[in-house]
Structure 1
Amino acid sequence: MDTQLAIQSRRAVKQFDPEHRLTEQEIENLICLALLSPTAFNIQHWRFVLVRDPALRQQIRQVAWNQPQVTDASLLVIVCADLKAWQKQPERYWQNAPQAVQDFLLPAIHNYYDGKPQVERDEAMRSCGIAAQTLMLTAKDMGYDSCPMDGFDFAEVGKLINLPQDHVISMFLAIGKALQPAQARGGQLPVNEVVITDRFA
């Protein structure tokens, strides 16, 4: 599918065919393309929890406003991030780069994040958002629909998936075959309201 068409046609779908399942190859393709998403300093701190256990899906649905897409979508991805990925063997993120590049970037990574929890979190959310969009557009290209979700109890979901203390949940992504098309767009703001040239007034 053309990229522009995928962007134009991607919508948040709420009703999925509960009988449909993605193949293992399709899931692998989705994740492999998501892994090409950019991250600051190439830290790649996203972590994708693929919830396959039906019982766990039911538990998660109970703390997600009972939204049916949690259990009915072919694939439920909990997009998380490791806040401390920057200090976990950071040399591996640049192992293929020239030594001069490594010598510059490794101290830069440390200086950028060390002692700055808000920076860690902000960067994690940015990276997860980019990866989530990659997943949604890839799904659309594959003929599937998706629904990004934040309507759930983050703390309770964290307990259910044994989220490590140094990780955060960014969002859910439900991916699968839509049972019915999304509703019409609610209303897009005009370009002149969201685009500012040079500076705010």
Structure 2
Amino acid sequence: MDTLSAIEQRRSVKHYDAGFEMPAADVQRLLDLALLSPTSFNIQNWRFVVVRDPELKKKVRAAAWDQAQVEEAQLTLLLCGDLRSWDEDPGRYWRNAPESAQQQIVPMIREFYQSRGEQTQRDEVMRSCGIAAQTLMLAAKSMGYDSCPMIGFDPEKVAELINLPEGHVIGMMLVIGKAAQPARPRGGQLPKEEVVVTDRFA
């Protein structure tokens, strides 16, 4: 499927064929594509937790208001982020760049995030998780799978279940799999004139 068709056809699917087994190669392909998602300064601050253990899936489902797709979908991912990735040997993010680029960009990373503070660091993680989620959803659709991004869960409980390290946050949950039922019809799109602004708000 081409990219434009994937964008048009991607929907949030709630019901999955629990008996379907996603090939391991497809799982790895999706994760490899997720790693190509852009991040500011290339700091790659996302962390992808693949929930495989059936018992853990049951517990995560319970912490997600008992939403069945958590357990029935073939791939349950928690898109997390490292709030301090900008400070963890930032030279490694540019190790393959020309020396001149490294000398210019690497010092800027710490200067930027130290000066902007914790809110910007958190915002950056959320932006990165959102971009990665869209990459995964469109890649999944192009491979014949469906998906559903989720914020309907207890983040503290899920963080405890996955042993989320200090200095990390959960951006969202994302399930991917073979749909058992199609998505409901679109609820209603706002008119373009209401959401697209030229130059400045009135």
**TM-score by structure 2 length?**
0.98
1:176 aligns with 2:147: no
Alignment partners' CA distance in 2, 1:158 and 1:85: 18
Report deviation, 1:20. 1.1
Look up the SS of the partner of 2:79 in the other structure.
strand
Look up the SS of the partner of 2:44 in the other structure.
coil
1:18 aligns with 2:18: yes
After TM superposition, what 4+ stretches of structure 1 lie above 6 angstroms from structure 2? Answer: none
Report deviation, 1:162. 0.3
Name structure 1 gaps, 5 residues minimum. Answer: none
Aligned partners of 1:18 and 1:72 also within 8 Å: yes
Alignment partners' CA distance in 2, 1:46 and 1:98: 25
Task: Name the amino acid aligned to 1:186.
Answer: G
Instruction: Percent identity, please.
Output: 58
Report deviation, 1:106. 1.3
Question: 2:59 aligns to what?
Answer: 59
Aligned partners of 1:21 and 1:75 also within 8 Å: no
Q: Deviation per CA, 1:28-68, whole angstroms, max 9, x where unpaired?
A: 10010111110000001111100000000000111100000
Question: 1:43 aligns to what?
Answer: 43
Question: 2:92 aligns to what?
Answer: 92
Report deviation, 1:105. 1.0
Aligned partners of 1:158 and 1:169 also within 8 Å: yes
Residues 107-116 or 88-97, more deviating:
107-116
Alignment partners' CA distance in 1, 2:39 and 2:177: 26
Report deviation, 1:109. 0.3
Question: 2:107 aligns to what?
Answer: 107
Give the aligned CA root-mean-square deviation in angstroms: 0.7
Task: Name the amino acid aligned to 2:177.
Answer: G
1:155 aligns with 2:153: no
Alignment partners' CA distance in 1, 2:144 and 2:80: 25
1:78 aligns with 2:73: no
Name structure 2 gaps, 5 residues minimum. Answer: none
Q: How many aligned positions are there?
A: 201
Report deviation, 1:151. 0.1
**TM-score by structure 1 length?**
0.99
Report deviation, 1:99. 1.2
Look up the SS of the partner of 1:168 in the other structure.
strand
